[in-house]
Amino acid sequence: MSKTSIASVVVVALSLVMTGCKEKTASEETADAMNAAGTTVKEAVQDGAQAVGDAADATGNAVGNAVEATVSAVGDAAEATGDAVGNAAEATVDAVGNAAEATGNAVGNAVEATVDFIGNAAEATGDAVGNAAEATGDAVDNAAEATGDAVDNAAEATDNALARPSGLQVTT
């Protein structure tokens, strides 16, 4: 550093020291007070703005959380409703299927019973017709045999009557 530069620094330093030592005027004190008040107001405004920002941030977070919780609750309710509807539909389909199966079984059993009844009736009718035919055949055989016996007996009686001499004699 040159001698001139050092001298300049010393002069500036001395003037600063002298300025600090002199008594402040009323206008300087007013200016200092206004500066201090301005700084205080500025800090208060900054603090207030920060508090408003923090409150807005907290409010936004609370609203966001509430919206998220509501959407989640609606989704859960919709899922539960869908599950309930699905379960009810499945139960209905099962019930209809079971009823149809039971109806089919009942119809099948009724048809089977009807076929069995008709078969048994036809068999009984066939047996009755067979028995009646056999009885008729036996009666016809018996009547024919009796008729044959009667004819034989009548013929034998006729032969016997013709073979006996009678008390009358015919002369020619």
Q: Give the model confidence (pLDDT) of 34-66 as tens digits.
A: 887 778 878 888 888 898 899 999 999 999 999
Give the pLDDT confidence score for residue 169 in this predicted structure.
57
Q: Following DSSP, what letter does each residue of the chain receive, concatenated? A: --HHHHHHHHHHHHHHHHHHHSPPPHHHHHHHHHHHHHHHHHHHHHHHHHHHHHHHHHHHHHHHHHHHHHHHHHHHHHHHHHHHHHHHHHHHHHHHHHHHHHHHHHHHHHHHHHHHHHHHHHHHHHHHHHHHHHHHHHHHHHHHHHHHHHHHHHHHHHHHHHHSPPS-----
Low-confidence ranges of the chain (pLDDT < 70): 1-24, 164-172
Q: Give the model confidence (pLDDT) of 97-109 as tens digits.
A: 999 999 999 999 9
pTM: 0.42
Residue at 130 is within a domain: no
Range of the domain at 64: 43-111
Residue 24 contacts residue 32 (beta carbons within 8 Å)? yes
Residue at 102 is within a domain: yes
Give the pLDDT confidence score for residue 104 in this predicted structure.
96
Residue at 93 is within a domain: yes
Give the pLDDT confidence score for residue 28 in this predicted structure.
77
Residue at 60 is within a domain: yes
Give the pLDDT confidence score for residue 127 in this predicted structure.
93
Residue at 158 is within a domain: no
- What are the C-alpha distances in Å from 81 to residues 89, 92, 97? 12, 16, 24
Number of structural domains in the chain: 1
Residue at 8 is within a domain: no
Give the pLDDT confidence score for residue 41 in this predicted structure.
78
